[in-house]
Amino acid sequence: MNKSTLTFIILTAFCINVNAQTSLENCNILIGENAVDTATVTDALKWADTKPICVKCEDENVYELNKLNFRMILQNPFRNKDFGTTEKGIPLLGRKLLEQAKPGDTVFLRSATYLDEEGNDVALPNIVFRIVE
């Protein structure tokens, strides 16, 4: 095996490993031990008050959120409230709005990241959950 073939194999294996780490398509909030896409206001507040806030993804790993953009979509009256990017938690004004959430309202976490072993931000997919009774 020549040097260029060996280099190609190593780079291919590295790219497959990197893609495996960044190809998550679904993450949900953790209520207790359960990953859910719906939550009562009480459960959503417990999740928001837990430090660090965590999500569980399709790979069955739990990730501590480092950065995220917190948005709520309220149904009645219909409005969209974006609280910008925050680190290590839910923004105070976002939490206050979460206290007033009604069934059918939706919480949307965009641009969420976690820190890998080297301290680098790694992107997670959008995380969405709906408020239920």
Please give the share of the chain, as a percent, with pLDDT higher than 90. Answer: 77
Residues 67, 34: contact at Cβ < 8 Å?
A: no
* Low-confidence stretches of the chain (pLDDT beneath 50): 4-20
State residue 4's pLDDT score: 46
**pTM for the predicted model, two decimal places:** 0.78
85: left (phi over 0), alpha (psi -120 to 50) or beta: beta
State residue 8's pLDDT score: 43
